[in-house]
Amino acid sequence: MSSLYRNRKLLSEIKSEKGSVAIEFFFYFFSIVLLCFLLVDYSRYFLNKGYMERVNHSLATVLRERTALYHGKEILTQNDVNQLDLLAKMLLAESRIGEKYNLYVDVIYFDEDVKSEKKIKGKPISFTVLHANNGNCPKSEFAKDFTKRIPLSPFSHADTGATRTEHWLPIYQVTLCTQSHYSLLMKILRSIGPSLGDISVSNAVIPR
């Protein structure tokens, strides 16, 4: 009897250990798979940011070519911004971002009658094209304070065609923003508190 009892006890312990090993294996396997998934999702955030930086740089480069592409006209119009938006759509079409973005274009003009110093002509002008859900993707805090870009404007003695000679060149700022909650990881981080925030990239240029 004692031998039979010991065998049953041994079998019970073996089954218990096998069950524990199976549970531990499932737990570790699930944790590793989840970690890999989150790492891939996390990397997509920075891939999207890098992609948007390249696209935004391209948009700003197009906008600055006032002589070659805009017949020397420094005055920015809504039609110019709409054309930039069409270009942004084309460049972002093959990415995960698609049309889930907002486009902001700001410009500062300077008083042409004042040459001894930079005097802003009126207020900075802003153009906006919204595509993100509910339009809820604002510019970054740095991009909002556009006046920080004023030192970038040089005094021009060149004739750009349609504009006057000898004047302070205007400054254009192009900003692209997309919502980070399109990422699963960002959704999880937002739900528990910390978040990397939306992806917002800006470039400032002067006409040439």
Quote the tokens at residue 18. Answer: 């096998």
Alpha-carbon distance of 142 to 149, in angstroms, equals 10
pLDDT at 193 over 60: no
8 Å CB contact between 129 and 106:
no
Q: Which residues contact 47 (CB under 8 A, 6 or more apart)?
A: none
Mean pLDDT taken over the chain: 78
Alpha-carbon distance of 48 to 55, in angstroms, equals 10
Range of the domain at 105: 2-205
In this predicted model, what pLDDT tens digit does every residue of 70-94 receive, in sequence order? 888 889 999 999 999 999 999 988 8
Number of domains comprising the chain: 1
pLDDT at 145 over 70: yes
Q: Angle at Cα 144 formed by Cα 119 and Cα 101, nearest 5°?
A: 130
8 Å CB contact between 203 and 174:
yes
Question: What is the model's pLDDT at position 163?
Answer: 47
Q: Is the pTM of this model over 0.85?
A: no
Phi-psi domain of 203 (left: phi exceeds 0; alpha: psi -120 through 50; beta: other): beta
